[in-house]
Structure 1
Amino acid sequence: MELQNPVRLLLLLFLAITFIQSGYDKLMYWKDNLNWLKSHFAKTPIKDMVPMSLGLILALELIAGIASAAGIIQLLTNSGESFGFYGAVTSAVTLLFLLLGQRMAKDYEGAKTIVIYFIPTLLAVHLFAH
């Protein structure tokens, strides 16, 4: 294993855990999440699109998490890096959607939290793009 692979593996593990767990939570507690999000976005332009938005975020999170997990397998088997790249990029796009939602809801503290996840995600995108 070359020196960069441990960092790539840990970043992909971070993304896989983050997004698979979040997707699982949305699937298992859909109604609770939907009710909370409806109130969270009640005074925003997307108030009538909350169920569709939640479904989109769920799909993106699962794609990001599964692609990141597949990227781990690719790195461990020396069979490429494409899934790692796709996982990292999908993770970044997902976080940007979440950031947009938090900003629209004027939840600036929640938006700050997303930045914490965005930094290692950008590092992963950078490492897999080179």
Structure 2
Amino acid sequence: MDNFMTHIVAITILLFLLITFLQSGIDKLIDWKGNLEWLKGHFAKTFMGRVVPLLLATILLIELVTAICCVMGIYHLIADNHTFYAVLAMFLACLTLLMLLFGQRVAKDYQGALTITCYFIVAIFGLYIIT
């Protein structure tokens, strides 16, 4: 219980990131075709338009790896007070959000970029407190 209380802020942020990336990854798996079609339209007038399937697969993979690292981070913070997976999860979350931000900026979707920035603030704060 001491480890839980010591890392309660980091654990809460990891839970937030877990929900965010696990839901997003599951949505991409369940509705791959719908996501792909929407993103093709979103990036149609950009240099990224021709590689949308590769980019979607890349984001899906990193989201799922991030979610797994969040679970492992929570477990290791509570069980043995080790921060490696928590740091890795928060770093991967930041990296993923930067990729998404780049895409939104390229597509000139500034409202979408603003939304991603809110998530990034949470992730970078988590990385700050755990290191």
Residue 52 of structure 1 aligns with which residue? 54
| Sequence identity percentage | 43
- 1:44 is paired with a residue whose SS is coil
Q: For 2:7, what is the secondary structure of its paired residue? A: helix
Residue type matched to 1:74 in 2?
A: H
TM-score (norm 2): 0.95
State which of 64, 67, 88 in structure 2 corresponds to 1:65. Answer: 67
Task: Give the secondary-structure state (helix, strand or coil) at the position aligned to 2:47.
Answer: coil
Cα distance in 2 for residues equivalent to 1:127 and 1:62: 23
Aligned to 1:123: 125
For the residues of structure 2 that align with 1:79 and 1:87, how far apart are their CA atoms? Answer: 15
Q: Which runs of 4+ in 1 moved over 3 A?
A: none
What is the Cα deviation at residue 128 of structure 1?
A: 1.9
Calculate the TM-score normalised by the size of structure 1: 0.96
1:52 Cα deviation from its structure 2 partner: 0.1
Specify the alignment match of 2:83 in structure 1. Answer: 81
State how far apart, in whole Å, the 2-side matches of 1:10 and 1:79 are. 15
Give the C-alpha shift of residue 78 in structure 1: 2.1
Q: How many residues align?
A: 129
Q: Of the candidates 37, 40, 53, which is equivalent to residue 39 of structure 2?
A: 37
Q: In the alignment, which of 105, 108, 128 is matched to residue 106 of structure 1?
A: 108
Work out the CA distance in 2 between the residues paired with 1:54 and 1:128: 29
Deviations 1:14-39 (A, max 9, x none): 11111011000000100000000000
Spell out, residue by residue over 1:34-83, the C-alpha distance to the aligned partner (whole angstroms, 9 max, x if none): 00000000000110000000000001101111101110011111241110
Q: 1:27 — aligned with what?
A: 29
Structure 1 unaligned blocks of 5 or more: none
